[in-house]
Structure 1
Amino acid sequence: MKYTTFVGLDVHKDSIAVAVARRNDKDVEDLGVIPNSPQAIAKLVRKLGEPKSLRFCYEAGPCGYGIYRQLIAMGCSCMVVAPSLVPRKPGERVKTDRRDAKKLARLLRSGDLTPVWVPDEHQ
């Protein structure tokens, strides 16, 4: 599948920073912050277009895999990555949620991320 929209999510308990890298654009767009709720995620998917053309990613963390499962159920592609496996540039120190989301979107578009295994709900 040729994805056209790559979405980086920086996920927290109450909020998600969202950034989008489109296949043919050099720049990564900061879409801001949305609530961490199933309704807000569904609205984001509708806003971005055809689910089959969307590829999402976020770092594994304490918020679990609920977002992954919701996106897959909606027909999107999603990968969860280990924070320790996200490439970092030497001297890269300033971290913000929006910068992290943009970085994830950029790395996802370039194919530089490795997914972790996501257990099913019963594991």
Structure 2
Amino acid sequence: MLRCRNIPNQGVSSIVKKATRISRFLAAVEDRPIYVGLDVHKKTYSVALFDPEDGIVETYTCPSGQEALADQPSGLGCQIAHVVYESGPTGFALSRALERAGFAVSVIAASRIPRGYAAAAKTDRIDAVKLANYFARGLLRPIAIPTVE
């Protein structure tokens, strides 16, 4: 169902556990639209799947790569309402690849993401969840994605 290509040094049991968690999430959300938040880095992407109706969240990490990531949401077999990620060194190539794959994508300026006054922890997984959650609630404004020229 869901495959992260070229997963380095992960045992079969780890992959099975991840697939089971995601299967449970997909069964819980049924046909409701979900939001996907991405925290992107050079080597890995942290992915958060968020159901705004029930507040259910599932996360996983996969190797970076625009084409590999663009294949994943369509392989989930659920309705993706929107994919959102923070602007940064990844640039806009990822958003273009996801748009070519048929997804609605928004890129958010890092300076425009609400931060708590006393953020206890900051991890890639938490950042991905916040992006999906905040976007689903209408708290984020996307930046314009420039054309290729």
TM-score normalised to structure 2 length? 0.73
Contact 2:52 2:133 in 1 (8 A): no
| 1:33 matches 2:61 | yes
| 1:42 matches 2:70 | yes
Contact 1:13 1:63 in 2 (8 A): yes
Letter of the structure 1 residue corresponding to residue 66 of structure 2: P
CA distance in 1, matches of 2:130, 2:143: 18
**Shift of the alpha carbon at 1:56?**
0.4
Contact 2:42 2:64 in 1 (8 A): yes
CA distance in 2, matches of 1:54, 1:36: 22
Runs of 4+ in structure 1 deviating by more than 4 angstroms, as ranges, are none
Contact 1:28 1:105 in 2 (8 A): no
1:62 paired residue among 86, 89, 106: 89
2:108 paired residue among 81, 84, 105: 81
**Shift of the alpha carbon at 1:93?**
4.4
Letter of the structure 1 residue corresponding to residue 139 of structure 2: D
**SS of corresponding position for 1:105:** helix
2:143 aligned partner:
116
Contact 1:7 1:105 in 2 (8 A): yes
TM-score normalised to structure 1 length? 0.87
Higher relative contact order (CA 8 A, sep 6+): 1
1:26-45: per-residue Cα shift (whole Å, max 9, x none)? Answer: 22221x11111134213312
CA distance in 2, matches of 1:50, 1:74: 15
CA distance in 2, matches of 1:93, 1:61: 23
1:22 paired residue among 42, 45, 51: 51
Q: Percent identity, please.
A: 36
CA distance in 1, matches of 2:109, 2:88: 8
Rg (Cα) greater in structure: 2
2:130 paired residue among 87, 98, 103: 103
Structure 2, unaligned stretches of length 5 or more?
1-31
Letter of the structure 2 residue corresponding to residue 57 of structure 1: V
2:118 aligned partner:
91
Q: Which has the higher strand share?
A: 1
Number of residue pairs matched by the alignment = 118
